């Protein structure tokens, strides 16, 4: 038996994307946004297909992502931010709540809401994940969003 395999294509043409990005740790998050924009452009998105929504910190990302997904103004939401461990348990609380909130936004709306949050123990680790040594998590999140919108279209809108 050979089952049908469905995979999303990497073509952003005709889809609308919302990027929700925190201003906190901007020197890193800005690189994530640049990476996401680069990926979307390479995959065929025009400037008119992308909107960026800036929120104060990572904790505010899930609510904005949820509201944006509910609005039907976008086909996918790309969540970008940076959370760096400090001396208190604050990191654990924020990282956990942000991850759960982003997941819940996608589950509650059936819109792809993609996790592009860098969580790191040090500033150097975060910088590495924003394009210096270990790729750019913003670029990767945008690629995931494009693949998912294509897969959703194939699986749920056609046929």
Catalytic residue (one of 90, 100, 108, 133): 90
Q: Is 6 a catalytic residue?
A: no
- Number of helices (H), then strands (E), in the chain: 5, 4
Distance of alpha carbon 12 from alpha carbon 142, whole angstroms: 10
CB atoms within 10 A of CB 71: 12
Distance (Å, whole) CA 159 – CA 154: 8
By annotation, the residues acting in catalysis are 90
């Amino acid at each position: 038996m050979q089952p049908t395999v469905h995979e999303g294509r990497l073509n952003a043409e005709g889809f609308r994307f919302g990027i929700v990005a925190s201003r906190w740790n901007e020197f890193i998050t800005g690189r994530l946004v640049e990476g996401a924009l680069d990926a979307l452009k390479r995959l065929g998105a025009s400037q008119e297909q992308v909107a960026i929504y800036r929120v104060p910190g990572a904790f505010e990302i899930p609510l904005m992502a949820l509201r944006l997904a509910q609005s039907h103004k976008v086909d996918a939401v790309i969540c970008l931010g940076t959370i760096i461990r400090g001396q208190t348990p604050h990191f654990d609380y924020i990282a956990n709540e942000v991850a759960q909130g982003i997941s819940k936004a996608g589950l509650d709306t059936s819109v792809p809401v993609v996790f592009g949050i860098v969580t790191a123990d040090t500033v150097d680790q975060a910088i590495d994940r924003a394009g210096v040594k270990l790729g750019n998590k913003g670029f990767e999140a945008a690629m995931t969003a494009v693949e998912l919108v294509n897969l959703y279209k194939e699986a749920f809108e056609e046929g």
